[in-house]
Chains A and B, each alone.
Chain A
Amino acid sequence: MSRTVSIDPILLSKVSKPARYVGGEWNSVVKSHDDVKLTVAYCFPDVYEVAMSHLGLRILYALLNERDDVAAERVYAPWPDMEEVMRQKGYPLFSLETKTPVADFDMVGFTLQYEMSFTNILNMLDLAGIPLFSKDRGEDMPLVAAGGPCAYNAEPLADYVDVFFLGESEESTQLTADTIIAWKEQGKPGGKKGLLKQLAQQQGNYVPAFYDAQYDEQGNFLGLVPTEAEAKEHIEKCVVADMEHAFFPTKPLVPNIDIVHNRAVLELFRGCSRGCRFCQAGMLYRPVREKSPQRLVQLAKEIVANSGYDEISLMSLSSADYSCLPELVDMLLDEFKDQKVSVSLPSLRVDSFSVDIAKKVQQVRKSGLTFAPEAGTQRLRDVINKGVTEENLLKACENAFQNGWSTVKLYFMMGLPTETDEDLAGIADLAYKVLNLYRTVTKKNNGRVTVSVSSFVPKSHTAFQWFGQLPVEEIQRKQAYLKSLIRDKHISYHYHDAKTGYLEATFARGDRRMGQVLYEAWKLGCKFDGWTELFDYDKWMEAFAKAGVDPDYFAARQRDVNEPLPWDHLSNGASKAFLQREWQKAVGGELTHDCRHLSCTGCGVCPNLGVEIIDRKEGAGRGKTAFSC
């Protein structure tokens, strides 16, 4: 018999946004735990509105719930006001569907989207009454799993997570479920360790407890040594080769309160082959695999009918790169012309073509346009392999201004490798050029340019993984310098907190020793670190001191291209040699072309994983699968 948590509705009505905690959303799936063989709690370590906006968990939730023998439920981090009520009254963390305590599930899976949500994972385990450290969890406790982009450097969480899943899980999740069900039915041979040994042999699975980390006398990381026969030396990600027929949920959960992205989502393709050297997602999700426009229109029809949404967002890492975008947009607009359904394109390419598409989809509502030049000078854009010129940007803006747009948002990064003050001045120059262009084109003075600058964080599995993050003071100096150059009231300038970026860097390139820092920080009360109002840098510095770890060692240190890295055993299929080449080319300002349209650039993903680029328009002859629309 399963327990349920029932929260006094009076207490619930006192917390902010109580609907975050009650479930009951349209298309949520409620099953009795007595009728299934496996129960899974999918946990997102952030607040409801953020968690519900994430597509990955929605896919896995719907996919597992298609099975009669599995119940998958959702668990999100309670906001501090609700946490206080729960701790005061002794309510354990519970699932939204059946209000079952998280500790009663067979498996508890966390998605790792962002390093700054790691403390929330610890806090959620604690609220659930589950011991934080894997070694302290008995056989009665759920299997704690984690996946998502941050799993590619799993080491800071190695002490807390039983098994990490690397890569795309549409297919491997089924195997995991089958494995756990069989293990349970056989009477759990070997206990939890027995199960982990089975899982460790399957593709994409990393069981950190089956490895010892080794360091030299100076405390430098040397490598991981497997301690169990089942532990592989290298773990390669799972990848779905056939995106066209991969599972995609057509009965999306419809939240009762507004969430960050409250609209129907259509995933056009996975992967991105542009090869921007700072971009981790661009490396992790390779190769590009498109769905056909016919399949997408069919999915869109079902999703709109089943959700009631009147807006469809065309989502991908770079949606404007979808090879059949004009055809798809025409087909969608035609399909929904009588239904007041609008289509939106979240990411634009910096060219006129994408403005034309935006014009088409935004016939009803005209929001601002966003472009991402990322750096202020051509030299630096070449270093990061952005492959965008000032001419591209100005042409696109000219097109936009001629077509009635008056607001343009420009995204940049600060603290990139080889960056000088000249590159920062280039950001201000570009903003002024865009604003002056508006004045020239429209003869009006009501244009607005927003310059948004985030601080660059070197991430694992990118060409910049060896680069040292700039000190907080240096980022702050650069932020102030750029501010001094922007003096027009029609240009607004936003930048991110340098301290958050610095902390993110310690985790992004950290090893197992970061686990202790995380624990100390959580004990000091750190949580929701991605939320400015709750982030407390001083507490984090105290945590580093208590754990005896120097944050600069992980964040600021320029690494040798040949030194062992804490994530060398975790692979997205790309070779380290490729990244080393890319790093050398970056320093030389040399570009690498997009492998989707020209020759293979040798990252190794396709041959290593046995997959191919799927471009619905590309001609045959380069070993790519080609389709015609």
Chain B
Amino acid sequence: MERLRLAVKKDGALQFLSHLDFARAVRYVIIRARLPIAYSEGFNPHMKLSFASALGVGVRADEEYLDMELRERLPVKDVVEQMNAQSPDGFVVLGGKYVDARAPKLMAMANYAVYRLTGPVQAGYGDDALQKALQAFNDASDVMYEKVSPKDARKVRLINVKHHVVEPLSGKTDGETLTLRVGILQTDEGAIKPQQVWEVLGKQFGIPLDADMMLARRIGIYHRRGRKNQSLFETI
């Protein structure tokens, strides 16, 4: 078995897919590309294919990674070309690399994601005010987010946003549009969603944004060790 790691893009029509639908769309691409993909044994065989993360509906990803197991080693260039020739609008294979069969799973490696968040902000909200608000966030030692269970409103969990947003936030306003750059670290306790960071900034730092109106674009996903972000192609 050859384990091939691919960097892919999810945008266009595909940005609106749930993770399961996105995975299915990729499977169709692989079948159409006639790749010698390996299947699990057993009653209901499934393709040996795994992703770095589960992207939510509406989230574009400039970079996402997936591992597939091939029955034979094809040149990476051929795989990329064959898949791109069979890809629907919004899916592009950017590049690939064979990795060791014993390399850690993508899901375990990918623990840092950088997003660009965009949404409407109240007219007249200037850049000075924004920078002050972001500074206040960056300077705070703890920022608590109350996560209410969607199933049971009595179940509330407190998350310290600062445990996950470990690099300073930056952003700008352009007319009535606010753009923020947010890095989110996944720790043993889990992670926080971009949507929740957006909401916190509105509710606790006075940025006049609409908590429900935001679009996230993931511009990078990495393995973070200490203060260093490394590419998921680097497996050692």
| A interface with B by C-beta (< 8 Å) | 9-10, 12-14, 18-19, 22-26, 254, 256-258, 305-310, 340, 364-365
In the complex with contacts A19-B17, A256-B14, A10-B213 CB distance below 8 A:
yes
- B214 interface hit (Cβ, 8 Å): yes
Main DSSP-derived SS at the B contact region: mixed
| B interface with A by C-beta (< 8 Å) | 12-18, 20-21, 24-25, 27-32, 39, 43-45, 57-58, 86, 88-90, 118-120, 212-215
Whole-angstrom distance between the Cβ of B112 and the nearest chain A Cβ: 23
Distance of A257 Cα from B21 Cα, bound (Å): 5
Asked if B45 and A340 make an inter-chain contact with CB atoms under 8 angstroms apart, the answer reads yes
**Quick one: which of B15, B16, B45, B89 has the most chain A CB within 10 A?**
B16
In the complex with contacts A14-B212, A25-B88, A258-B24 CB distance below 8 A:
yes
Asked if B13 and A24 make an inter-chain contact with CB atoms under 8 angstroms apart, the answer reads yes
Residues of A within 8 A of B39 (CB): 340
**Quick one: which of B14, B25, B212 has the most chain A CB within 10 A?**
B25
Asked if B24 and A19 make an inter-chain contact with CB atoms under 8 angstroms apart, the answer reads no
Q: Within the complex, which residue of A18, A256, A306 is in contact with B88, where a contact is CB–CB below 8 Å? A: A256
Asked if A18 and B28 make an inter-chain contact with CB atoms under 8 angstroms apart, the answer reads no
Closest to B39 in A: A340
Asked if A24 and B57 make an inter-chain contact with CB atoms under 8 angstroms apart, the answer reads no
Whole-angstrom distance between the Cβ of A365 and the nearest chain B Cβ: 6
Asked if A305 and B32 make an inter-chain contact with CB atoms under 8 angstroms apart, the answer reads yes
Asked if A256 and B44 make an inter-chain contact with CB atoms under 8 angstroms apart, the answer reads no
Residues of B within 8 A of A258 (CB): 20-21, 24
Q: Within the complex, which residue of B13, B21, B29, B44 is in contact with A308, where a contact is CB–CB below 8 Å? A: B29
In the complex with contacts A9-B215, A24-B13, A365-B44, A18-B29 CB distance below 8 A:
no
Asked if B58 and A9 make an inter-chain contact with CB atoms under 8 angstroms apart, the answer reads yes
Asked if A310 and B25 make an inter-chain contact with CB atoms under 8 angstroms apart, the answer reads no
Asked if A364 and B44 make an inter-chain contact with CB atoms under 8 angstroms apart, the answer reads yes
Residues of A within 8 A of B15 (CB): 9
Distance of A306 Cα from B34 Cα, bound (Å): 11
Residues of B within 8 A of A309 (CB): 28, 31
In the complex with contacts A305-B32, A308-B28, A24-B14 CB distance below 8 A:
yes
* Interface pairs A-B: 5 shortest CB-CB: A24-B13, A13-B58, A308-B28, A24-B89, A308-B31
Whole-angstrom distance between the Cβ of B55 and the nearest chain A Cβ: 12
24 residue pairs A–B, Cβ–Cβ below 8 Å: A9-B58, A10-B118, A10-B120, A18-B16, A19-B13, A19-B21, A22-B13, A22-B16, A24-B89, A24-B90, A26-B28, A26-B88, A257-B17, A257-B18, A307-B28, A308-B28, A308-B29, A308-B86, A309-B31, A310-B31, A340-B45, A364-B44, A364-B45, A365-B44
Distance of A402 Cα from B173 Cα, bound (Å): 70
- Other than the given A18-B58, A258-B21, A308-B32, 7 more pairs (CB < 8 A) read A13-B16, A13-B57, A22-B16, A25-B13, A26-B28, A26-B32, A310-B31
Whole-angstrom distance between the Cβ of A277 and the nearest chain B Cβ: 41
Residues of A within 8 A of B213 (CB): 10
Residues of A within 8 A of B43 (CB): 364-365
Residues of A within 8 A of B25 (CB): 256
Residues of B within 8 A of A22 (CB): 13, 16
Asked if B24 and A18 make an inter-chain contact with CB atoms under 8 angstroms apart, the answer reads no
